[in-house]
Structure 1
Amino acid sequence: MKQRQKHKLADTAQQIVGGFLLAGPFVVTQEVWMLAQNMTVFHSLFLVGAIMTIGYGGLYGADDGRDPAREAAVLGIPVRFISVVIVAFGSVGVLAFAITAPDLFLAELSPTDRLHVTLRALSVASVFSVVGAVTTDSLF
């Protein structure tokens, strides 16, 4: 029986670089925030599902040398996959907060509506962030 592969801090660092690299242009784009205003909860949940699918498929479907059953896991979920998902959403959230995007693009909304639209915008930008995170994780 083979030993489980550990997920290293360097792996997460690579994911963070890729996640931030592709998230940046979408967090600062007004169109993303306008799209988010028009979205429903269903649209956001659909995007979250797409992000999970892209993340898992990119890590394990596109790389024949990686087997999720041989990786360290929490409750049966590979740590590498958990890390990619956290990085995808986290990098977008950190960027949006750091550059005050919700305050700029959603100034006319109430605080509650601003929060809801921000969460939807995060789901849009995270689609691109997860691609960057998975790509850098697989390349390096």
Structure 2
Amino acid sequence: MRRFSRRPFRIADSAQQIVGGFLLAGPFVVTEEVWVLAENMSTVQTLVTVMIVFGVGYAALYKAAGRDPDDEFDVGGIPARFLSLMLVAYGAVIVLALAFGAPGTFLAALSGLERLVVTAKAIAVGSVFSVVGAATADSVF
């Protein structure tokens, strides 16, 4: 029989993640240096950045906060709290980038496909900071 943690994952936890994720993502979405950096990143660097986001998110939720992922409700074998964290970390950056028109502003000289690729890289960079804010808000509050 599976036991669940004393404090199960709730919708309020996602709300806290959203606040933290947006809070730290905002400054990086509107910083030209992030977009220039993304434009010059290789595919390998982008994949390493994605792995960093997943690693930091997992460590913050389950190592630093002392939670046991086996104690939590899961979706397809992935703890719901971690899945929510990844959706928030990347989603906050995507929403802000599109709401502010950042790809069109910083990548105006690129073609459609090039702009899409660089935008994905910039999202990966911004998510490094967003995941820290989202995980911290989830763990602290």
Q: TM-score, normalised by structure 1?
A: 0.96
Q: Is 1:69 matched with 2:70?
A: yes
Q: For residue 77 of structure 1, what is the amino acid of its counterpart?
A: I
Q: Whole-Å Cα distance in 1 between the matches of residues 95 and 78 of structure 2? A: 25
Match of 1:11 in 2: 13
Q: 1:4: Cα distance to partner?
A: 2.3
Q: TM-score, normalised by structure 2?
A: 0.95
- What does residue range 25-44 of structure 1 map to in structure 2 within 5 Å? 25-44=27-46
- What does residue range 51-70 of structure 1 map to in structure 2 within 5 Å? 51-64=53-66, 66-70=67-71
Q: For residue 3 of structure 1, what is the amino acid of its counterpart?
A: R
Q: For residue 35 of structure 2, what is the amino acid of its counterpart?
A: W
Unaligned runs of 5+ in 1: none
Match of 2:89 in 1: 88
Aligned-partner SS, 1:52: helix
Q: Whole-Å Cα distance in 2 between the matches of residues 98 and 75 of structure 1? A: 32
Match of 1:109 in 2: 110
Aligned Cα RMSD in Å? Answer: 1.0
Q: Which segments of structure 1 move beyond 6 Å, counting only runs of 4 or more?
A: none
Aligned-partner SS, 1:55: helix
Q: Whole-Å Cα distance in 2 between the matches of residues 18 and 69 of structure 1? A: 25
Q: How many residues align?
A: 139
Q: Whole-Å Cα distance in 1 between the matches of residues 3 and 71 of structure 2? A: 7
Match of 1:47 in 2: 49
Unaligned runs of 5+ in 2: none
Q: Whole-Å Cα distance in 2 between the matches of residues 82 and 48 of structure 1? A: 14
Match of 2:98 in 1: 97
